[in-house]
Amino acid sequence: MAATGSSKSAQERREAQREVLRKQRQSELKRQRTVRTVVIAAITVVALVIVAGAGYLIFRSMQPEGPVAVPEGMSADQPYLTLGAPEDSGKPVVEIHLDFLCPHCGEFENINAEDISTMVADEEAIVHIVPRNFMDMQSSSGDYSSRAANALVAVYADDPVNAMAFQTLMFANQPGAEGLTDEQIEAFALESGASEQAISDIKAGTYEPWVKRVSNPYGEETGGGTPYVEIDGTEFKGFTQPGALREAVLAAGGAPAASDGGGEAPASDGGEG
């Protein structure tokens, strides 16, 4: 009888162990179901957020863009700033495309800034400046070219007389990929003679939409890279030779050139700005 009692006790222990294991399995299955439910719910939420975000972007892309701000007297679709002689003066038209981050543009400015300033001040030509921002992504901030171009337009809008001085300061202090800070750009604007209104427009990025939607797309269609120069609609590549650009402009206006062959100087690689 003792043996029977002992055998029964062992069976009970086995049953108890099986019950413990069964409960553990049920608990683990329940935990797995809970985890699976949470994961599915999280994935669903993320998917809904992505779909909603994509839908919003599509919605925004289909909305008509608002008007761009431009300096007084300019039409919204005019892709350049005008300096020098009046548009109806009959003087040669010089068009210059520049990106403030482009190292070739820095070289161009070093060679030609004085002559361009003379052409503007003496109204020897109608000078069109096309500020570009195609090198934005080459800057650490991803928007330096846009910020610098906006600043040039802000200074021009405040008083065109100060635009060339500001452009010269920006290229004289041309940075690498790190770009200039907003404070540095504003300081150069003030140094060039700009007012607090220009500083306000620089801070607000007032003219960045014009740069992004008007002047830069125009530059992509005509020249692509920077610096890019046209005289009366014809590309001019001799600007790497000191004095050649102004000589070519004076010749286009009917004035005798100071020397021969200025317009035939070797082509610059600046077009790869």
Q: What is the per-residue pLDDT across 220-252, written as a single tens digit (0 to 9) for each?
A: 998 779 999 999 999 999 999 999 999 999 999
Q: Residue 69 in 3-state DSSP?
A: coil
Rounded CA-CA distance 14/229 in Å is 94
Same domain, 42 and 94: no
Same domain, 85 and 56: no
Rounded CA-CA distance 50/58 in Å is 12
- The DSSP symbol for 157 reads H
Same domain, 34 and 158: no
pLDDT cut 90: percent of the chain above it: 66
- Residue 262 scores a pLDDT above 50: no
Please indicate whether residue 154 or residue 266 has the higher confidence score (pLDDT).
154
pTM recorded for the entire structure: 0.72
> Which pLDDT does position 269 carry in this prediction?
41
Can you tell me the mean pLDDT for 147-151? Answer: 98
Please indicate whether residue 20 or residue 70 has the higher confidence score (pLDDT).
70
Query: Between vectors from CA 75 to CA 70 and to CA 79, what angle results, nearest 5°?
Result: 75
Same domain, 144 and 85: yes
Overall size of the chain counted in residues: 273
Rounded CA-CA distance 216/132 in Å is 5
Same domain, 122 and 226: yes
Rounded CA-CA distance 217/215 in Å is 6
Q: For 71-128, what is each residue's pLDDT tens digit?
A: 999 999 999 999 999 999 999 999 999 999 999 999 999 999 999 999 999 999 999 9
Is 160 within a domain?
yes
Is 74 within a domain?
no
Rounded CA-CA distance 220/28 in Å is 63
> Which pLDDT does position 100 carry in this prediction?
98
Q: In angstroms, how far is CA 41 from the centroid of its own chain?
A: 39
> Which pLDDT does position 178 carry in this prediction?
94
> Which pLDDT does position 145 carry in this prediction?
98
Taking the CA atoms of residue 234, residue 240, residue 246 and residue 249 in that order, the dihedral angle to the nearest 10 degrees is -10
Same domain, 114 and 184: yes
CATH, residue 167? 3.40.30.10
Same domain, 44 and 119: no
Same domain, 103 and 215: yes
Burial of 71 (0-12, 13-18, 19+ CB in 10 A): buried
> Which pLDDT does position 1 carry in this prediction?
47
- Residue 164 scores a pLDDT above 50: yes
Total number of domains in the chain: 2
Beta strands, E only, the chain: 81-84, 93-98, 126-131, 228-231, 234-235
Can you tell me the mean pLDDT for 158-164? Answer: 98
Per the structure, the complete domain to which residue 38 belongs is given by 1-63
Same domain, 103 and 185: yes
Same domain, 26 and 148: no
Is 164 within a domain?
yes
Can you tell me the mean pLDDT for 19-25? Answer: 76
Same domain, 5 and 100: no
CB 126 within 8 A of CB 91: yes
**Burial code of 120-140, b = ≥16 C-beta within 10 A, e = fewer?**
beeebbbbbbbbbbbbbebbe
Is 75 within a domain?
no
> Which pLDDT does position 94 carry in this prediction?
98
> Which pLDDT does position 65 carry in this prediction?
62
Which residues are CB-contacts of 11 (< 8 A; sequence separation ≥ 6)? none
Banded pLDDT at 267 (limits 50, 70, 90): very low
Same domain, 264 and 187: yes
Report the mean per-residue pLDDT for the chain.
Answer: 86
Say if strands 126-131 and 228-231 run parallel, antiparallel, or are unpaired: unpaired
pLDDT cut 70: percent of the chain above it: 84
